[in-house]
Structure 1
């Protein structure tokens, strides 16, 4: 069922490799898998192998395929920029790969991507420029994605030590009525993902690369 979608990503990889990297990127395995908290990712290590070689994996989050095609393909190119930096010896991230630094921004902007800064995550928030949209149109990459995965996008964090079970509407003890919930709810204003925590925390949306707002 996903054959046409996979073929589109394979074709887009070839086009972007030629247009933006002078065909200098090695092949990568492109997958479509569940990734509710991320538009996409690339593995640091080569996790796929065959009789000839081994390959990095670029995953496109299955829950986010319903976005405009230019945004989905911008995610693919974002991950390809990481691949370029890896093979070129460019240290484009820090803090365990979470923080995208100015080296990543500079390389991504060379590839017609708009890169915005987000606190704690760095230069990671990615969107297509007009020139990028022209490239995908010129190369026939504007086909609609056929499928997207539905799934739960709300995440509950583990309770803090000594805290309650973190659920809303818990039963009162000894018939004293409903006990007030100690959970806090956080929401991303960009994509709407919500998270509950049993203490005040600072959270970043892995999709939009922006801070979640306490509600």
Structure 2
């Protein structure tokens, strides 16, 4: 599956989800697949694209996270579509420069098949699909996305900061870090520890797995 095929699928899914969960009221957006190691996706609150003097908002899905199970990818898409809906409806759903999701966002998102958790840093933002959304996705006959971007993680100024580095957070010639990375096999959430630990994902209720170096 090429990136162009992924964006075509996501554009198709956007149309289906717009009709099913938003009564078809959402205007078109430009859907992109770009590097986004610190987030599963984003929505621009301005017209990031122009065509023939007409502006379009952007919804991006992080290229590194497309390997998650399809219902979780669709849940991320609906999360960003909910931001789009709130923007069009004049609902202030975030604060702190768009990073903190408030209870208005939670209410709108949970009307649309999402289960919304809470994180004190970003508010009512952690997102997973409800049983109803999972059943809806399965009923569409959509297949999973079998392409995702690989990259460097955890390096100071690396993929998260934009300049690159090695996967263990060091540079060539320097001692490797002993940091271990653990990842949730269901939602893809990851954490790091300086020693071996037994840790689970509370959102998914499953043990997190050690990523081998």
Inter-CA distance 102–136: structure 2 relative to 1 (3 Å threshold): same
Segments of structure 2 that go 5 or more residues without pairing to the other structure are 159-168, 195-213
What is the RMSD of the two structures over their aligned residues, measured on CA atoms? 2.9
Q: Output aligned runs, 1:150-165, within 5 Å.
A: 150-156=150-156
The whole-number CA distance in structure 1 between the counterparts of 2:26 and 2:182 is: 34
Provide Cα deviations, 1:143-174, integer angstroms capped at 9, x if missing partner: 1213110001113169xxxxxxx969x99xxx
Provide Cα deviations, 1:59-95, integer angstroms capped at 9, x if missing partner: 0100001000110110000000000000000000011
Please state how far the C-alpha of 1:186 moved relative to its aligned partner.
9.6
Structure 2 length-normalised TM: 0.74
The whole-number CA distance in structure 1 between the counterparts of 2:53 and 2:24 is: 19
Q: Output aligned runs, 1:11-160, within 5 Å.
A: 11-51=12-52, 53-140=54-141, 142-156=142-156
The whole-number CA distance in structure 2 between the counterparts of 1:77 and 1:104 is: 12
| Residue 175 of structure 1: aligned partner | none
Provide Cα deviations, 1:17-45, integer angstroms capped at 9, x if missing partner: 10111110010000011111111001111
The whole-number CA distance in structure 2 between the counterparts of 1:188 and 1:119 is: 21
Inter-CA distance 167–31: structure 2 relative to 1 (3 Å threshold): closer
Instruction: Judge conservation of contact 1:36–1:63 (CA < 8 Å) in 2.
Output: yes
| Residue 3 of structure 2: aligned partner | 2
The whole-number CA distance in structure 1 between the counterparts of 2:48 and 2:193 is: 30
The whole-number CA distance in structure 2 between the counterparts of 1:167 and 1:61 is: 24
Segments of structure 1 that go 5 or more residues without pairing to the other structure are 159-165, 172-177, 197-215
Instruction: Judge conservation of contact 1:37–1:153 (CA < 8 Å) in 2.
Output: no
SS in 2 for 1:124: coil
Q: Which has the higher contact order (CA 8 A, sep 6+)?
A: 1
Provide Cα deviations, 1:78-137, integer angstroms capped at 9, x if missing partner: 000000000000000011111100000000000010000111211000000110112222
Inter-CA distance 138–167: structure 2 relative to 1 (3 Å threshold): closer
Inter-CA distance 195–13: structure 2 relative to 1 (3 Å threshold): farther
The whole-number CA distance in structure 2 between the counterparts of 1:193 and 1:125 is: 15
Instruction: Judge conservation of contact 2:79–2:109 (CA < 8 Å) in 1.
Output: yes
